[in-house]
Chain A
Amino acid sequence: MAADHGVALEFDLQPLVHLRGWPRQRVLQSHARLLRLQRKYGFPATVATNARSMLDLRSPREMAALTRLFGMGEEETLRALATPPALSGRRREVP
């Protein structure tokens, strides 16, 4: 359904940075499951740090290092980073 409507799902990296122990393990499992679905159905995905200050910002290289933790490749990460501009630039039909 998300693939049909061009709705992107977000991989939130903030818990990977801030959580420790089993909460982070749960987030990694959840992201890995979401990645499997994304690869299967091909819906748009995006990666975000949800930064509230400059200390929470991460560079693309660091984001690629974090996404590798749940099996996302570097190319997939770069594609996910380019998703928001691609979606916002797309012209949508109003029903």
Chain B
Amino acid sequence: MPSRLPSQRDRRRYLLCRVVPAWAEPEPRAVFHAVCEAVTTLWGDTGAADIAPAVLDCSRGYVVVRCRRNTEAQMAAALATVTRAGENRLALRQVLTSGTLHGIRRRMQEPGAGWTDTQVMRDGRAFTARRSAGQKVDLIAEEKKSPELLFFTEDNGEVK
């Protein structure tokens, strides 16, 4: 099928959302189902068909969601009602709305966006120290069955 001219294509908008908490790493499929469920329950089937939600990317603490142009407000309201993706409780904070994926990627690559992981050993246990947005550090115990989040205070010492 020949591709349509740019002027004949559907106008889209891309929404960049931050995943809260930052250490939750939901599966893209679970996020897609959560977003679709939120849109459908809030706006109904016809509204969801009009909005045409899609999850394009789900990585490094961000989710990129696509919708039709002029439905950003409905999409934002639906995203505010997302409370769970699969087994994870989470929230999606809208950060940016853009007409191009280029603008979204540029924002994702800004310094301070996303997180950096460092391996840390404390008291004989392995932790992942996750620095988010240059502001805070989460310590996540590396256990396969139940990852444990530890609150990091001054008493614990600094992660170098």
Q: Using a CB–CB distance below 8 Å, which chain A residues touch chain B?
A: 16-18, 20-21, 24, 54-59, 61-63, 65-66, 68-69
Contacts and interface: CB of A to CB of B under 8 A. Distances in A.
Contact of B80 (A20, A21, A24, A62): A62
A55 B93 CA distance: 10
A17 B80 contact: yes
B128 interface: no
Contacts of A54: 20-21, 91
Nearest to B90: A55
B1 interface: no
Contacts, number: 42
Interface of A is mostly: helix
A69 B79 CA distance: 13
Interface of B is mostly: mixed
Contacts of B121: none
Interface residues of B, number: 16
Which of B21, B79, B90, B91: most chain A CB closer than 10 A?
B91
A55 B81 contact: no
Contacts of B91: 54-58
Nearest to A59: B93
B54 interface: no
A58 B79 CA distance: 11
A92 B41 CA distance: 44
The 7 A-B residue pairs whose C-beta atoms are closest, nearest first, are A62-B80, A65-B77, A65-B76, A20-B41, A55-B91, A17-B81, A66-B80
Which of B42, B73, B80, B83: most chain A CB closer than 10 A?
B80
A69 B43 CA distance: 10
